[in-house]
A = this chain, B = another copy of it.
Amino acid sequence: MSTIAFIGLGIMGSPMAVHLVKAGHDVAGYNRSPEKTKPLVEAGGRAAASVADAVRGAEVVALMLPDSPDVREVLTGQDGVFAGAAPGTLIIDFSTIRPDVTRELADEAARRGLRYLDAPVSGGEAGARNAALSIMVGGESADFEAARPVFEAVGKTVVHVGPSGSGQTVKAANQLIVAANIEALAEAVVFLRAYGVDLEAALEVLGGGLAGSAVLTQKRDKMLHDSFEPGFRIALHHKDMGIVTSAAREAGVVLPLGALVAQLVAAANASGDGALDHSALLRGVQRLSGQTRP
């Protein structure tokens, strides 16, 4: 049983913090909009008044924040985590941010005698609610082992993938594959509709063979019915495509498909579909093909 500070109680962080309470941990949660602490408090956790307040006395500090600048601010800001955490504190960043920022923050943490794991997740809101997240963890093996009870309270597939930043790198690769698989399926759907094929039957047979994928299984109904409530928002996937393309550039890796998909996600975002589920890439293919749908 650990004392855990949990910073960032949004759509993902809130159920994760609740699961940690249920697993027997002592959790102090902080969120910029304080009303978001309500589910945590109802589950038996504590509401902290500030980051510093949450961090005081914590053995583990967990973060689930939107983007690189947020994580940087919470860690390095005045009254932030680095300023308040006791030596040896284990920081676990569940956020999806830039791998280079992760490495920089992990180095700074090490200089201050703190331990740091990057642990971005996939599985979305449902995964968070059901404690069924996939977690890709970068950092020291010993820290990974120490964090196991935390990970197992919120995730199902938990894998240590390498040194610091590796979790973010794998998450970036995850977002690249997912966006490409969605776009490929979207192009196939527009193609099949243009030829008047029975789309439901076609998706059934496609799903049974080498074209089958989690994307096809989970997104087919949204595409069949042009119904794109999120789910995972295009605006966030657009941010993530920026991470993977710039990380590839820094590493001298060439991603022709990834770069094009990043532009198609950017187009969806620029066209006003940022708040829709990422399966709404279908709408972009429809627009390019001169089709307008409800």
Instruction: Mark A residues whose CB is within 8 Å of B.
Output: 99, 122-124, 127, 134-136, 156-157, 159-163, 165-166, 169-170, 172-174, 176-178, 180-181, 183-185, 187-188, 190-192, 194-198, 201-202, 204-206, 208-216, 218, 242, 244-249, 251-264, 266-267, 269-272, 285, 287-290
CA distance A150 to B211 in the complex (A): 24
B177 touches A188 (CB 8 A): yes
* 24 pairs, CB–CB < 8 Å, chain A vs chain B: A123-B210, A127-B209, A136-B205, A156-B208, A157-B208, A159-B205, A161-B198, A161-B201, A162-B201, A169-B192, A169-B195, A169-B197, A173-B202, A177-B185, A177-B188, A187-B258, A194-B251, A194-B252, A209-B214, A254-B289, A259-B259, A263-B288, A271-B287, A272-B290
Does the CB pair A213–B181 fall under 8 Å? yes
Query: What B residues does A99 contact at CB under 8 A?
Result: 195
**What residues on B are CB-neighbors of A122 within 8 Å?**
209-211
Query: Apart from A159-B205, A177-B184, what are 8 other A-B pairs with CB-CB below 8 Å?
Result: A99-B195, A123-B209, A173-B191, A177-B185, A184-B184, A252-B290, A263-B288, A271-B290
A148 to B247, CA, bound (A): 41
Q: What residue of chain B has the Cβ atom nearest to residue A244's Cβ?
A: B191
Shortest distance between the CB of A123 and any CB in chain B (Å):
6
Q: What is the bound-complex CA distance between A162 and B181, given in angstroms?
A: 25
**Cα distance, A26 to B227, chains bound together (Å):** 50
Measured in the bound complex, the distance between the Cα atoms of B285 and A181 in whole Å is 17
A202 to chain B, nearest CB (A): 5
A287 to chain B, nearest CB (A): 7
Name the distance in Å between A120's Cβ and chain B's nearest Cβ: 10
| The residue from B215, B252, B287 contacting A289, defined by CB atoms under 8 A apart | B252
Query: Within the assembled complex, what's the spacing in Å between the Cα atoms of A195 and B165?
Result: 9
Cα(A220)–Cα(B258), bound, Å: 19
